[in-house]
Amino acid sequence: MTGMLMTAEFWVAVAFVIFGGIVWKVGGFGMMTKGLDGRAKRVRHELDEAKRLREEAAAVLADYKRRRTEAERDAERIVADAHEEAKRIDAEGHVRLEDYIARRTRSAEQKIAQAEAQAAAQVRAAAADAAVKVSETILRERLQGQTAQDLVKSSLGEVKTRLQA
133-146 pLDDT, tens per residue?
777 777 666 666 66
Higher pLDDT: 21 or 161? It is 21
- Residue 158 belongs to some domain of the structure: yes
The residue segments making up the domain with residue 110 are 28-164
Please report whether residue 40 resides in a domain. Answer: yes
Q: How many domains does the chain have?
A: 1
Which of 75 and 131 is assigned the larger pLDDT?
75
What pLDDT score was predicted for residue 92?
92
With respect to residue 6, please indicate whether it lies within any of the assigned structural domains.
no
pLDDT of residue 152: 63
pLDDT grade, residue 21 (50/70/90)? confident
Percent of the chain with pLDDT over 90: 44
Q: Is residue 48 part of a domain?
A: yes
Instruction: Give domain status of residue 16, yes or no.
Output: no
Establish if 15 belongs to a structural domain. Answer: no
Backbone φ, ψ for residue 6 (5° rounding): -90, -5
Q: Is residue 159 part of a domain?
A: yes
- The reply to whether 81 falls in a domain is yes
What is the pLDDT, as a whole number, of residue 141? 66
Q: Give me the pLDDT at residue 123, please.
A: 83
Q: How many angstroms separate the CA atoms of 37 and 130, rounded? A: 134
